[in-house]
Chain A
Amino acid sequence: MLSEERSKDIETDALSAPAAGRLANPDVRDEFGLETLDMSMGPQHPAMHGLLRLILELDGETVVRCDPVMGYLHRSKEKISENRMYPAVIPITDRIDYMNNMAMEYGYCLAVESLMDVEIPPRADAIRALMNEFSRIMSHIPSIGFLLLELGAFTPILYAFRERERIQTIMEAVTGARMMFHYIRIGGVKADLPEGMPEEMWKYIEGLEERLEPDFVDLIAGNEIFVARTRGVGKMTQEKAVEMGLTGVPLRCTGVEFDVRKHYPYGWYKNLDFDVVTDEAGDVEASYRCRIGEVKQSIRMIKQILENLPEGEVMGDTGRRIRPDEGDGFGRVESARGEYAVHIVSDGTDTPYRVHYRTPCTVNMQLLQEIVPGHYLPDIMPIMGLIDPVSGAWDK
């Protein structure tokens, strides 16, 4: 047993700064003369999508204040990028958003290519878009699973991971890796699709189309408890969403039609016919519907790409050594979580002078502070599912 003094010390240390402040000023009470409860949720918490700490102030089960604390998975991505040659940065970008790596590589390569005089062969462009859409499905379907997991239903996550697993098998055949692909290179892609791969992809995509409705819509969308837990939870207006600079599903589920693929088309997306999925409600249920809709659009795009896959080379001529011109390079793509942009400052050497990654998660995370107060404690988890952040992407 601890001595009296020591346990007292521990007690005071354990108080967070606001609680200590309230001890000094005990007048902060609610109308019943009751104090609020401070609670530190995370960074080690099963529902925090990685390492996020929330400092909560609770009035019973109602959240009064919510302060997200980021930085528990900070790995100095931007600084490391300054010390590597241009092609060697790509594996680092892979590890930013580890649920949707392909978009991370794509954004970086677009930024470097904007500084170089290199022509991307059409086949490489098409393969890039193809792999990006697979990567999006691979990220969206588990997101739906995670949302349900956080609501307390354990089963959908395993159905979701079955799909992710199958796509990973395809990815492994194409890129050689299951998660950290390092597939999109400056000037093209690493290698052409293996023989017979387009047929295999087609087969999988048709199977997914069949399974999507019964497994992820019929089993989930009509469930009374799911509706009760998600409808009206995390509700926000269009103005609020635009004001906070949200992108991706959190923005589109309020009804704002913004998609980088559509409005600032890059690569092969110029040739593709697809819709931007939006929803009016702006709550968790709407974000779930948006994700399902986007998976359907991705399936549509993959089919289009596979139908007219151009022939030819997959790597443009970048020269023996990649040394972009001096200046600012910029690339933006629509990742599964929103707009992902890369800004590179080049000083004409073979390492970047400065790289900045604008990840959607960092920005979308502001929602927590704005929207969570007033909700019940268990509503934090579906709101996390609405934003669907990835620890690696908000901390970089």
Chain B
Amino acid sequence: MDNLFSSGFIFGHMNYWLFVVLMMTGLYIVVSRGNLLKKVVGLNLFQAAVFMLYISMGKVAGGTAPILTGNPDEVYSNPLPHVLILTAIVVGIATTSLGLALIVRINESYGTIEEDEVLALDQQQERDELAALEEEVLKSK
């Protein structure tokens, strides 16, 4: 247990600690905020944290950018996780833009982007439908 609190464990893994903090902050915002826009911001933060995880993973101590220089002893970072995360960044952008587009449409149809108000309007519509249904049944009798 002693190495758990050593400075190496804390500072040596700084990237990963930040990843965890950022990821949990993002996830917390998604869960706790009622504003649909803020949820998307939280989701973005959550995804950005994962980008950090992948980028840290590819880092080789003392390594440079992975470009062929002709020097066989050149130490360079692992480019693969970086390439992988480029894909994930594109996916993140697509998700964000789609989420924002949906929010615009929700605002147009519901007139609000607060989750509880949207939910209340949904439930209201459901109640209205059922009331109309009952009326119809009564009328036919």
**Do A and B interact?**
no
Residues of B within 8 A of A (CB): none
- Chain A residues within CB distance 8 Å of chain B: none
